[in-house]
Amino acid sequence: MFSKFSKVAIAIALSSAAISTSTLKAEAVTNPTTTPPGTASAEISLATHLTQANIKMYGAYNCPFSLLQRQLFGEAAFKQVTYIECNANGKNAQASLCQALQIKQTPTWEIGGHLYSGVRSLEQLARLSKYQGFTHFQQAESLVNSF
């Protein structure tokens, strides 16, 4: 199903997320950043911020790395992300736009006129986008803990 390279890349991405998660757990004890009751989750807040900042994710429905990126947000939050389908066979595909931007791999994030290829942790996306909201990302933590 996945090539050896794909398995290694996924393992590296999850290891990075695990390190970030353990750091978040330690920070939460001394500096709580959990989302207050009655407000949107940190993932939804970040996704909304990304859209408001005109940040886009270029992906492919059949790419395991694009799927992993989606899973880091969770289904509800990812619905808020501006997503561009690069596979010509995908729903609402914009393959010509991806080709014009020379998107070589997915996922690729367009942030401030720069392209960032590869899976990015939610913490990385928050930093790159200058997000100032809550950063206790539950979905990433639960994804890492499922392994």
4-145 sits in which CATH class? alpha beta
Q: Which amino acid is at 141?
A: E
Cis peptide before 64 (omega within 30 of 0): no
C-alpha–C-alpha distance, residues 34 and 36, integer Å? 6
What is the per-residue pLDDT across 80-137, written as a single tens digit (0 to 9) for each?
999 999 999 999 999 999 999 999 999 999 999 999 999 999 999 999 999 999 888 8
Averaged pLDDT, 26-42: 47
Cβ atoms of 73 and 43 closer than 8 Å: yes
Question: Residues 107, 58: contact at Cβ < 8 Å?
Answer: yes
| Domain edges within the chain | 4-145
The angle at the Cα of 79, spanning 114 to 47, to the nearest 5 degrees, equals: 50
What is the reported pTM? 0.70
- Mean of all residue pLDDT scores within the chain: 79
